[in-house]
Amino acid sequence: MPVATTNKMTGAKMVMEAFKEERVEVVFGYPGGAVLFIYDEIYKQNYFNHILTRHEQAALHAADGYARASGKVGVAIITSGPGFTNAVTGIATAYTDSVPLVVISGQVPITQIGTDAFQEIDAVGISRPCTKHNYLVKNIKELPRILKEAFYIARSGRPGPVLIDLPKDISATLGEFDYPKDIRLVTYKPTMKGNARQITKLKDAINDSKKPLFYIGGGAVISNAYSEIRELIKLTNIPAIETLMARGICGDTNPLFFGMAGMHGSYASNMAISECDLLISLGARFDDRITGKLSEFAKNAKIAHIDIDPSSISKIVNANYPIVGDLKNVIKELLNILGDYDKTKTKKWLETLESYKKKHHFCYQDSDKILKPQWVIEKIAQMTDANAIISTDVGQHQMWVAQFYKFMQPREFLTSGGLGTMGFGLPAAIGAKIAQKKKYSINISGDGSIMMNIQELITCIQSGIPVINVILNNNYLGMVRQWQTFFYEKRYSNVDLTCQPNFVKLVESFGGIGFEVKTKKEFEKALKEAMNSNKVSLLDVKIDRMESVFPMVPSGGAIYNMMLN
């Protein structure tokens, strides 16, 4: 190998330099043959931290959790073949929720690509439908540009994961490292500013409507538009509802906030959608978990849809007022031209919604004999005083958290909304704790979900990341059991989890602390200890086995037809 001159370096070193330029502070990953040169450079550098997870899926979720909690780009490195295929679920999870990631995967040497070499897989082919963009690096000369583009594409426009598949020989080849200052992507120019005429039309529509409603989605979090949205709500007196991905935008104590919408949404929010005459989507994408039966969705309303991704607009519901642009910019514009808006005109509409809120709010039958999951969640909110980032897995516990935790800020709730990935919670909590060191990082999980990435407890130990895990243990794949209860005549096929590990001993064997919790008192004591311990902890909370999530809109039904209890 030729001796390196000062301005020449290997591909592996270029990756390090690019990370430095992009101010990467943490990388999650798992080594292997195809990324040995990269890991050798990681060993030599000292500007970022590398967290060794115990599974590539977890490396991706951790990078994802870091990105969601910080608003920055998450970075992960994995090896070729099985390393990459293990990571696919994590990549797809981030893609579906528009999370910015840069993923570097090792690949067999260029000369061996296409030979079915050991640990070869077509990473670019497999990841095409679940990345915003991907690259196979075929020449060292392209690498600096690709690295620069990857970070830019990941974080701009509608964010998403970008994969760089880097053959081993290229990571060892010497080349010139000219990190581009500017991006010259002639084909990629996201629309940031909304069309002024369209925004004026929307303003007029708001003025003309009697029952307007803000329908806020994950795009509001991504564009950091929450203070603008709060201002808009306050200024107009227009009620607002949130999707699962937008929890925290309004602040749950905001009097103009009427709850989460959708399949397990509040009565008031679903009725608000059904009765409003102008539905203004702020970065929400009309997911089927929200709309229910499409022909019945917002039947009386004109639709305004603001989204940075033109392909989202009118994809599912036809928009009367389509506006392509960054939400923060568009709302700022709207605030500028709103002028003498009559704040009092929504009074009657608000009274109606208020009466719906009173009639059916999220509630449960509390008990002193058996722990109710909803009580546990309310208690967590109370005891952490909203100084926590909550991640969840997928199932009933996820919906109870969305319903009963008091979210006051965005980026406090990390959940796999789009793909619905069990196994997301614990690794995401690891990433979140690194992003927000001063907050508690609490993973609220189910006894089914926690098993999907439980090995990451040891990552917490090795890297000193004190994640609190609260397992709402119902000895069931609870959400599936709930569906079987209502729609399959209680044929509980393969959802029984009475055969379980001893979770307390299990977390102890990893080096953390564990608590078995059966009563309210035990819970408060255990959570307090966990919060004070600065160690990874797990609370095995035995909850009422048969508790269901209500309200519930049967899938395919109209959202105003809710099963309320």
Partner 1 sequence: MKKRRIISVTVLNEHSVLSRISGLFAGRGYNIESLTVAPLQNSELSRITIVTSGDEKVFEQIVKQLHKLIPVLSVIEDEDLIEKETILAKIPIDQSISDIDALCKAYNGGIANANDKYIILTITDNPNRIDCFIKAIKQFKPKEIIRSGVIAIEQH
Ligand X SMILES: Cc1ncc(C[n+]2csc(CCOP(=O)(O)OP(=O)(O)O)c2C)c(N)n1
User: Which residues within the stretch 118-137 sit at the binding site for partner 1 (CB under 8 A)?
Assistant: 124-125, 128-129, 132-133, 135-136
Residue 395 or 512: which CB sits closer to ligand X?
395
CB atoms within 10 A of CB 130: 20
Binding span for ligand X by CB under 6 A among 63-71, 156-164, 344-352, 472-480: 472-480
37 is catalytic: no
Q: Are residues 392 and 421 in contact, defined by beta-carbon separation less than 8 angstroms? A: no
479 is catalytic: yes
- Tell me how far, at minimum, the Cβ of 311 lies from partner 1, in Å: 4
Residue 184 or 438: which CB sits closer to partner 1?
184
- Tell me how far, at minimum, the Cβ of 51 lies from ligand X, in Å: 22
Residue 314 engages partner 1 in binding (rule: CB under 8 A): yes
* Interatomic CA distance for residues 257 and 511, integer angstroms: 43
**Helix (H/G/I), strand (E/B), else coil: 61:** helix
Residue 105 or 441: which CB sits closer to partner 1?
105
Binding mask 168-187 for partner 1 (x = CB under 8 A): -----------------xxx
Partner interacting with residue 503 (select from ligand X, partner 1, none; CB below 5-8 Å by kind): none
DSSP per-residue codes, 231-300: HHHHHHT--EEE-GGGTTSS-TT-TTEEEE-STT--HHHHHHHHH-SEEEEES----HHHHBSGGGTTTT
Q: Please tell me the count of residues contacting ligand X according to CB under 6 A.
A: 20
* Best CA proximity match to 296, nearest among 560, 488, 84: 560
* Interatomic CA distance for residues 214 and 304, integer angstroms: 10
The H-or-E segment that residue 305 falls in is: strand 302-307
CB atoms within 10 A of CB 534: 9
Residue 141 engages partner 1 in binding (rule: CB under 8 A): no
Q: Are residues 276 and 212 in contact, defined by beta-carbon separation less than 8 angstroms? A: yes
DSSP per-residue codes, 116-131: T-TT---HHHHHGGGS
Residue 109 engages partner 1 in binding (rule: CB under 8 A): no
Among residues 260, 452, 479, 531, the one annotated as catalytic is 479
56 is catalytic: yes
Among 106, 175, 259, 446, binds ligand X (CB under 6 A): 446
Residue 163 or 468: which CB sits closer to partner 1?
163
Residue 449 engages ligand X in binding (rule: CB under 6 A): yes
**Helix (H/G/I), strand (E/B), else coil: 313:** coil
Binding span for ligand X by CB under 6 A among 63-71, 106-114, 417-425, 486-494: 417-425
Measure Cα distances from 396 to 232, 238, 268, 375 in Å.
33, 31, 21, 14
* Interatomic CA distance for residues 205 and 321, integer angstroms: 9
Partner interacting with residue 315 (select from partner 1, ligand X, none; CB below 5-8 Å by kind): partner 1
168 is catalytic: yes
Partner interacting with residue 156 (select from partner 1, ligand X, none; CB below 5-8 Å by kind): none
- Tell me how far, at minimum, the Cβ of 308 lies from partner 1, in Å: 11
* Interatomic CA distance for residues 60 and 463, integer angstroms: 16
118 is catalytic: yes
Among residues 57, 107, 119, 198, the one annotated as catalytic is 119
Residue 88 or 389: which CB sits closer to partner 1?
88
* Interatomic CA distance for residues 399 and 261, integer angstroms: 11
Among 58, 153, 334, 442, binds partner 1 (CB under 8 A): 153
Q: 192-219 burial by CB neighbour count: b if 16+ within 10 A, else e? A: eebeeebbebbbebbeebebbbbbbbbb
Residue 417 engages ligand X in binding (rule: CB under 6 A): no
* Residues that are catalytic: 56, 118-119, 168, 479
Residues that bind ligand X (CB under 6 A): 393-397, 420-423, 446-449, 472, 474, 476-480
